[in-house]
Amino acid sequence: MEPLILTLEQSGLPRAWVCIEEAITYHAKHMVIWSAGEHVCEYRGGIQNDGRRSRIETQSILTLRGISGAAHRPAVPALSNGLLFARDRQVCAYCARRYDMHDLSCDHVMPVSKGGRHTWTNVVTACRGCNTKKADRSPEQARMPLAYVPYTPNRHEHFILRNRHILADQMAFLLAGVPRTSRLHA
């Protein structure tokens, strides 16, 4: 699998993961302000008027000029099972064991039927057995204390959770924006 390129807004915030071809397009359109990281790829084009072959190189981190998308992007990442399981490292919040993705489910700490909401701070990863045992009760009612506290990932954490094939220099950049208390540092 080809690595994805991390693009940043002018402010330095993560913008998107893009394929190498899209990164080359940004270079060709002169949208790259600066780049960092290891050399990823060189693309060769046609022959120019002066007889030289055109070529474009891209690195693993690109800062793009243009309108910042931060104003249009929600501050809190959308909640999905895949991101939830990644946040919790596929560890059940009740028995503290690690499971394969297909053996996990999303559990509402405070059940929706009891007024709980479907938010990052009210959901945890649970194995099917623990989720069934807890049923429609709070952890206290079920006598099943949480092994860890749920939290809302910030933008840098969200980008780490979304890509399973992050290059070392990209990971170093993203981890610099992750709170020291995050489980991603563990």
CATH number of the domain within which 111 lies:
1.10.30.50
Judge whether 155 lies within some domain. no
Q: Is the pTM of this model over 0.85?
A: no
What integer is the mean pLDDT of 44-69?
Answer: 87
Is the pLDDT confidence value at 71 over 60? no
What does the alpha-carbon distance between residue 151 and residue 133 come to, in Å, rounded to a whole number? 23
**Same-domain pairing of 137 and 168:** no
**Same-domain pairing of 125 and 103:** yes
Instruction: Give the domain range for residue 171.
Output: 5-73+161-175
- DSSP E strands in 11-122: the ranges are 14-18, 32-47, 53-64, 104-108
pLDDT band at 164 (very low <50, low <70, confident <90, very high): confident
Judge whether 186 lies within some domain. no
Q: Which residue has the tokens 């002169």?
A: 30
| Residue 40, C-beta contacts closer than 8 angstroms, at least 6 positions apart | 3, 5, 20, 23, 58, 59, 60
**Same-domain pairing of 65 and 92:** no
Q: What is the pLDDT of residue 69?
A: 63
For 101-150, write each residue's pLDDT tens digit.
999 999 999 999 999 999 999 999 999 999 999 999 999 999 999 999 99
Judge whether 153 lies within some domain. no
In whole numbers, what is the pLDDT of the chain averaged over residues? 92
3-state secondary structure of 113: helix
pLDDT band at 26 (very low <50, low <70, confident <90, very high): very high
Judge whether 19 lies within some domain. yes
